Amino acid sequence: MRPYILAESNWKYIKDATFDVAILPWGACEAHNYHMPYATDIIESELISAEAARLAWEKGTKVIVLPPIPFGVNTGQFDVTLDINMNPSTQLLVLKDVIEVLNRQGIHKLIILNSHGGNDFKTMIRELGLKFPDMFLATCNWFQALDQKEFFENKDDHAGEMETSLMMFLRPDLVLPLSEAGDGAAKKFTFAAIREGWAWAERKWTRVTKDTGVGDPRKATKEKGEKYFKAVTQKVALFFEEVAKTRKEDFYR
């Protein structure tokens, strides 16, 4: 039993334990090019949370990782078979129920460890922050923590070189050989404002990519995945530790 993983913990241990911060891994259930499993985002959120929590725990951080939420916002992938969409309004209710428990039981810090680009918890955190003023609520996109260019040749948006490398390291048993993968070629919006990033609209996924990937996975290796996993988890662990150990009076300087 890892004492920082709730799913492995028992009541004998938990009844006397105290925690400063809870981690909620949040994934998505969706196609990842031809070669990777639907659970890719779930596996990433769970294993990155677990390893970052282990590193933080070893430095004396009282952190507990909750079981991952498996469904993300997949409204743009409505026509991809068995991409299971959880609407933002449903996510808000799920998040509220989890926060209600933590708030009642005095665990006043929560970090959502998000794996999926379609999930956006910012507006939910704003709304729930008003309802639960004692809670510190944060969302963390681990995939934005580091500059991908330092680790990978081709930029990854979805199921490309970064995610494929990571999964080759984490769950090689679930990744098909790269010869089975599509090239992840994807169209961009016609509108300059959207391409430049100051306007936004949802992409209709199957109009943009043939193989469901956005980003070329073919330069992926297990070694790149291992190096990136180690760097990402160290950085995320530091965030867990800082949040857990910083008093609310000292949040700003």
Binding site for Zn ion (CB under 5 A): 40-41
CB of residue 244 vs Zn ion: minimum separation in angstroms? 27
Measured distance CA(234)–CA(226) in Å, rounded: 12
Q: Centre a 10 Å sphere on the Cβ of residue 80 and count the other Cβ atoms it contains.
A: 15
Which residue lies nearer to Zn ion by CB, 39 or 102?
39
Measured distance CA(20)–CA(18) in Å, rounded: 7
Q: Centre a 10 Å sphere on the Cβ of residue 165 and count the other Cβ atoms it contains.
A: 26
CB of residue 116 vs Zn ion: minimum separation in angstroms? 6
**Residue closest to Zn ion when measured from CB atoms:** 41
Which residue lies nearer to Zn ion by CB, 40 or 119?
40
Let me know: does 2 contact 54? Beta carbons within 8 Å: yes
CB of residue 205 vs Zn ion: minimum separation in angstroms? 12
Measured distance CA(70)–CA(24) in Å, rounded: 11
What are the φ and ψ backbone dihedral angles of 239, each rounded to 5 degrees? -65, -45
Q: Centre a 10 Å sphere on the Cβ of residue 35 and count the other Cβ atoms it contains.
A: 21
Strands 109-114 and 136-141: parallel
CB of residue 189 vs Zn ion: minimum separation in angstroms? 20
CB of residue 32 vs Zn ion: minimum separation in angstroms? 6
Which residue lies nearer to Zn ion by CB, 40 or 212?
40
Which residue lies nearer to Zn ion by CB, 4 or 143?
143
CB of residue 163 vs Zn ion: minimum separation in angstroms? 5
What are the φ and ψ backbone dihedral angles of 94, each rounded to 5 degrees? -60, -45
Which residue lies nearer to Zn ion by CB, 111 or 217?
217
CB of residue 101 vs Zn ion: minimum separation in angstroms? 28
Which residue lies nearer to Zn ion by CB, 45 or 61?
45
Which residue lies nearer to Zn ion by CB, 40 or 61?
40
Measure Cα distances from 96 to 18, 131, 135, 190 in Å. 21, 9, 11, 38
Structure tokens at 15: 């009844």
Among 181, 187, 173, 174, residue whose Cα is nearest residue 219:
181
